[in-house]
Each structure stands twice: as C-alpha cells, then as structure tokens.
Amino acid sequence: MSLKTVEKAIVERLAEGDRGDRGWFIITRVHVDLHWLKDVVEYLFRKVGNNPISLTAQDYSQLGKIVGISPVDPGVQLRRHHLLVMDKPLQLIRRTKKSSWREIQLTEEGIALANALDPAEVLERSLDKIRFAVEPWSPTDRVEQYSDFDVAVYQATKQVLARCGGYIHRDEYDFFVSRIRTKTEIDTAINNILEFRKLSSDEQRSLHVHVSSRIGKPKAYSNWRDQALHTFSLFSLGTSMIRKGPRLLLTSNWVSEEVADKRVVSPAVKKNSSSSAVNHSLKIPTPPQSDELLTPPIPPEGNVGAEAESFVAKILKSQGWQVSFFTNKRGYGFDLWARKGDLAMVVEVKSSVASLGQINLTQNEYKAAQHYRANFYLALVEGIGSVEPKMTLIQNPFECLVFGQQKTELHTVSEKVWRAFAE
C-alpha cells in the first residue's frame, strides 16, 4: 500500500458526516491520573457515603488541591474537566439532574473505587463498558453528532493492540483507531496501521495536515494532537494497558520492552506513619476549632503509594501471577502476595513521583524480608503517575543489600547501594 492509498483512506473517512475530525471524542482536555481519581472518590465517600452531595466552595477548594489546581474558582475547571471525565465516560459519579452540576452522587463503581485496594481492577471494569457515542457514556449532543458511531472503545483498542505488535503510536490512534465506528471496522483499522508502518517518517508526518486542516475553529479542537495522549492516559488507568510517551502498550508488552532494554524503575521512599500514643481515658475529648478539619483531610501529594501498588499488581498479573493485597493488613510487613502455579512471593512496594533516594523499611518489613528471604521482593517504582514509570524488582534484599538501623526502628539502605545492586 502506497502513501496515496493510506492518504485516501484517511481523507475519505474525514470527509464523512458533518464533524470535520470524525474521531472519538471521549475525554476532556486533562491528563487523568489514578491517584487523584481515587482521592476524589474517597473524599466524597468519606463525606457523604452513597448519598447525594451539593458541592460547596470549600469542597471545590479541597478537590482543587487533590487534582493540583488552585484558580480563584476551581469549580469551573473541575466541572469542565476532572468531574466531567468522572461522569462521562468513566461513570464514577452522576449528576442527580442530568444537565446540572448542582448535586452529584457516587455510582456503584465510584463507591467500589473509593474502597478498592486495587483501583486498576475497578477502573478496568469502567473502561470496558465505555461505548462511543452512546448514552450514558456520551452526552446527548455528541450522540447526535456521531450517530453512526457505536463502538466499545476500550475493547476495540485492546483488539488493535493485540494484532499490531502490542502497541500503537498516537499517530496511528489519531488516523485509524479513533475513526472506528463499529466493531466491523476494527480489521480495516488494523490493516491500515500495519501499512502505515511501512511508510517513511516523512510520509507519515505528511498525513497530519489532513486532520489539522479539518479543524474549523481553533478553540473547538485546538489540541487535537493531545487528544490521543489524554485518551492513552485514560486507558492506562485499567489493568490491560500502559502509556509510554507517545505510545500505548499492552501491559505484557511494556514488561517485555523493559526487560529487553534492561531498564530499571525505582520509587522514592513511601511515607511510613508511626502510630501516635492512644489515650485510653473514657473522657470525651474537646478539640479546638479547626476550619481545615470540617471537611475530610486530603493527602498532601496524592495517594501515590496505592497507585504504585496497583501498578506493580498490574505488571505481575500481566505475567500470569495471582495477586492479593495486604496493604491494609497490619503486621505482615509486605504489600502484595503473588502466586503462579507452585511459585509464590511477597512484595513490598516503595514509590515516588520522581526518583528514589534512600529506602526505609519498617521493623515489620525488615522482619518479613529476613523471614521470606528469596521469596521477598522490593518493588521500587519511580515516576509513578508520569507517562513513563519505571520499576525495579530486587529479590532477597535482606541478603543482597546492607541496611543500617536508625533509632526510629527504620532499617535504611542508601540510594548508592540499592542502585548499584539493581544495575
């Protein structure tokens, strides 16, 4: 297939119907992170459970801190982007009155996410249900604009990935995948992608003009090149896929690439909260007035620990491991238990949004490492929440790494020591 043939296929699809770009429009212009999604639903669940809530200015301020925005009126940006993607297409919240944000309520999946040890499993279910352009996943006006589209977008993308080497580039998503109208067109999209990959880089780049020239008003779809990456972020919330820069990969292919490249991933130290002294007196306390605590507390930097644990579980599951979460079970000294056939291991996850420095193990974690030895792994996750997270697995850290002991009962290993071992 020549450049002209691929070009013809793209142009013919763009020319169909009234909408110039003729592609899936399933997400607002925001990067979606698992940690802020979970923190938002936890905030709502702690405050009202499964009851409706009318969000106040203070609620919007707290939610703005969770998602990392601080405008004068965060509610505007939250409703246009963050809350909107939680409503459509993820269906984690719903508006009690269809067109009004005056009152919202967590859905069953939203409640499940708020209480989940493995958020990715909950989001996998939500993603798997999304249909474009069908209500309730798309608003009425978009259903009318895209009346010829009825496709399960996440399922279709998984099929494409599986038959295109386990990955797609955002160009391939823009030109072919996002143009799929029904499941009968999946095969055509796959064939077009495989032919597109035979073109030179210059030939591939020349096709961009056909999409960009179809955009009439710049504000309507001005960031069309970012739409794919935002969608990749959305799809990466589940267990099946991981975004890696401008590409979307099946989780198993991401693992294969990391192994082939001998890449190392590591995390910053996970915060270990020491339990404060408990007052056993029956006297009911009278705390001082605190405007801050009149609403549920929020984490200062997002719940990256939970996101990292879900990420590690996602990787292990892609390799055939059965995984159980021990995060909220005290006294075990590890976060995950994994089994595959007659093999089993336990995993302690340490994570960071950036790079890892010193690693701290609590007394329980250190004892677990000592007890399980070669069946104990440290999973070090760096860049969690970024487009290119990295992971290092260190087996038997009790024997392989030299730990020091501090007065706080934390066993520490320096970055220099663990990184030298991992490399």
If one compares 281 and 348, the residue with the highest pLDDT of the two is: 348
Question: Domain check: are 19 and 135 in the same one?
Answer: yes
Tell me what pLDDT residue 288 has.
67
| Domain membership flag for residue 273 | no
Reduce the DSSP state of residue 205 to 3 states and report it: helix
Give the separation between CA 160 and CA 193, rounded to whole angstroms: 9
Report the pLDDT value the prediction gives residue 300, as an integer from 0 to 100: 64
Cα atoms found within 13 Å of the Cα of residue 213, Cβ hemisphere only: 9
Assess contact for 392 and 422: CB atoms under 8 A.
yes
Q: Which residues pair with 57 in a beta bridge?
A: none
CATH number (domain holding residue 111): 1.10.10
The alpha-carbon radius of gyration of the chain (Å, integer) is 24
Give the per-residue pLDDT at 223.
58
Average pLDDT of the segment spanning 95-118: 93
Whether 319 is in a domain gets the answer: yes
- What does the pLDDT read at residue 248? 96
On whether both 181 and 229 belong to a single domain, the answer is yes
Whichever domain contains 404, its CATH number is 3.40.1350.10
Count of domains for the chain: 3
Tokens of 2: 């020549």
Q: What angle do CA 50, 52, 56 make, to 5 degrees?
A: 125
Is residue 404 domain-shared with residue 379, that is, in the same domain? yes
- Higher-pLDDT residue of 350 and 405 is 350
Cα dihedral angle (352, 111, 121, 369), rounded to 10 degrees?
50
Instruction: Reply yes or no on whether the pLDDT at 329 is more than 80.
Output: no
**What is the per-residue burial (b if ≥16 Cβ within 10 Å, else e) of 356-372?**
bbebbbbebbbbbbeeb
Residues 374-399: tens digit of each pLDDT:
999 999 999 988 888 999 999 999 99
pLDDT value at 59 more than 80 = yes
Could you say which DSSP state residue 295 is in?
S
Query: What confidence category does residue 204 fall into, taking pLDDT thresholds of 50, 70 and 90?
Result: very high
- pLDDT of 88 above 80: yes
What is the structure's pLDDT at 308?
92
Instruction: Note whether residue 265 is domain-resident.
Output: no
pLDDT band at 53 (very low <50, low <70, confident <90, very high): very high
- 262, part of any domain: no
Q: pLDDT higher for 16 or 86?
A: 86
206-222: b (≥16 Cβ within 10 Å) or e: ebeeebeebeeeeeebe
Which residue has 């930097």 as its token pair? 301
On average, the pLDDT of the chain sits at: 85
67 assigned to some structural domain:
yes
Nearest by Cα to 25 from 144, 167, 110: 144
For residue range 109-160, what is the model confidence (pLDDT) as tens digits?
A: 999 999 999 999 999 999 999 999 999 999 888 898 888 999 999 999 999 9
Q: Which residues of 18-54 are buried (b: 16+ CB within 10 A; e: fewer)?
A: eebbbbbbbbbebbbbbbbbbbbbbbbbeeeeeeebe
Say if residue 69 is in the same domain as residue 84: yes
Residue 319, pLDDT score: 93
| pLDDT tens track for 281-298 | 455 566 666 676 567 777
Residues 234 and 351 in one domain: no
In a domain, 283, yes or no: no
> Among the three residues 81, 116, 151, which one is the final residue of a domain in this structure?
116
167/246 same-domain check: yes
Q: Which of 154-158, 317-321, 344-348, 411-415 has the lowest mean pLDDT?
A: 411-415
- Give the pair of three-digit tokens for residue 116: 């989940």
- pLDDT for residue 301: 64
Cα–Cα distance measured from residue 303 to residue 128, given in angstroms and rounded to the nearest whole number = 24
Whether 260 is in a domain gets the answer no
In order, the DSSP letters of 262-299 are T-----PPPP-PPPPPP----SPP-PPP-SGGGS----
- Looking at residue 264, its pLDDT comes to 38
Looking at the fold, whether 17 and 32 belong to one and the same domain comes out as no
Taking alpha carbons only, the member of 255, 327, 324, 359 closest to residue 38 is 327
Q: Tell me which residue of 159, 138, 132, 121 sits closest to 34, measured CA to CA.
A: 121
Collect all residues with Cβ–Cβ distance below 8 Å to 181 and sequence separation of at least 6: 148, 149, 150, 151
Structural contact between residues 113 and 38, judged by C-beta atoms closer than 8 angstroms: yes
Cα(396)–Cα(377) distance, integer angstroms: 6
Last residue of a domain, one of 252, 270, 285: 252
User: Residue 411: in which H helix or E strand, if any?
Assistant: strand 411-413
Looking at the structure, tell me whether residues 153 and 240 fall in a common domain.
yes
Domain boundary among 208, 231, 252: 252
Find tokens 């969608």 and name the residue: 231
Q: Which two tokens stand for residue 339?
A: 């089994």
- The residue-averaged pLDDT of 176-182 equals 93
**Is residue 291 included in any domain, yes or no?**
no
Q: For 91-99, what is the mean pLDDT?
A: 92
Alpha-carbon span 93 to 406, nearest angstrom: 45
Q: Is 279 left (phi over 0), alpha (psi -120 to 50) or beta?
A: beta
Domain that holds residue 355: 304-422
Q: What is the mean pLDDT of residues 157-180?
A: 96
Residues 15, 154, single domain; the answer is: yes
Q: Rounded mean pLDDT of 330-339?
A: 88
Assigned token pair, 243:
């975004």
Kindly state the average pLDDT of the residues 84-105. 93
Residues 106 and 54 grouped into a single domain: yes
Mean pLDDT of 12-36: 80
Same domain, yes or no: 158 and 239: yes
Beta-sheet strand order (sheet of 167-169)? 167-169, 247-250, 241-244
Cα separation, 168 vs 177, in Å, equals: 9
Say yes or no to pLDDT of 269 above 80: no
Same domain? 238 vs 381: no
What is the pLDDT at residue 274? 39
